[in-house]
Amino acid sequence: DAGVTQSPTHLIKTRGQQVTLRCSPISGHKSVSWYQQVLGQGPQFIFQYYEKEERGRGNFPDRFSARQFPNYSSELNVNALLLGDSALYLCASSLHRTGEKLFFGSGTQLSVL
Amino acid sequence: LAKTTQPISMDSYEGQEVNITCSHNNIATNDYITWYQQFPSQGPRFIIQGYKTKVTNEVASLFIPADRKSSTLSLPRVSLSDTAVYYCLVGNFGNEKLTFGTGTRLTIIP
């Protein structure tokens, strides 16, 4: 079975632009979580979706939004990009709710210039 | 959510056993302890999870004392490929906001 897939792998944007990142969970997994990882730090929780509903939100501004589709894939949107949004964005899926074993994708490396 | 404290970095030689300790003094009754491994430019990978006493799988062991205020990840006979960052997480199933700390950067020396 395929693991968690994320696209694109790399992205370069300029300040003020908008970006959409995509994630496909492992087949059968209904939960998708998004994390931001700045260089040298651990991943920071952004959102969790379970059964297409938002179940948790981290301390991120409203410029960050996400959604989950009927096939359980997910998109993370970031508006009005700032230089500080440059990071590795990770998607993780799990069979049920977050807290149990998470399966991570390889991430999208976003650079904001 | 219980906060965790880990050493920032550790070095070890190939073939040795490595023990990484995590402190979680405020762990709640229904919290589990989970360890992840992360290589550069990759997402974290699940290593092991436990609630109390000892858990062992094909890659590691997890030792949890009776008071559960700390835990130790044990990696037997490490190799160069074990060089990575190791994260200790504490939380319960259904806790959506799992938080990673800064982790322990383990470097294996040939």
Q: What are A35-87's pLDDT values in tens digits?
A: 999 998 999 999 999 888 998 899 999 999 999 999 999 999 999 999 999 99
Interface contact B44-A56, CB threshold 8 A: no
A90 Cα to chain B: minimum distance (Å): 7
Backbone phi and psi for residue A66, each to the nearest 5 degrees, phi listed first: -150, 170
Tell me the average pLDDT across B37-66: 95
Of A40, A45, A97, nearest to B99 by CB-CB distance is A45
Distance CA A99, CA A4 (A): 17
Cα R_g (chain A), whole angstroms: 13
- Mutation choice for A interface testing from B38, B96, B102, B104 by most A CBs within 10 A: B96
Please give the residue that has the higher pLDDT: either A9 or B31.
Answer: A9
Which tokens belong to B83?
């060089």
Task: Tell me whether A90 touches chain B (CB under 8 Å).
Answer: yes
Residue A98 has pLDDT above 60, yes or no: no
Strands B45-50 and B32-38: antiparallel
pLDDT band at B3; cut points 50, 70, 90:
confident
| Model pLDDT, residue B67 | 95
The one-letter code for the residue type at A105 is G
pLDDT at A15: 98
Token pair 């906060």 is found at B3
- Check residue B69 and give left, alpha or beta (phi > 0: left; psi -120 to 50: alpha): alpha
Sheet holding A74-78, edge to edge: A5-7, A19-24, A74-78, A64-68
Least confident of A13-17, A55-59, A80-84, B10-14: A55-59
What was the pLDDT predicted at A22? 98
Sequence-separated (6 or more) residues with CB below 8 Å from residue B9:
B104, B105, B106, B107
Nearest CA among A102, A96, A93 for reference residue A6 = A93
pLDDT attached to residue B95? 59
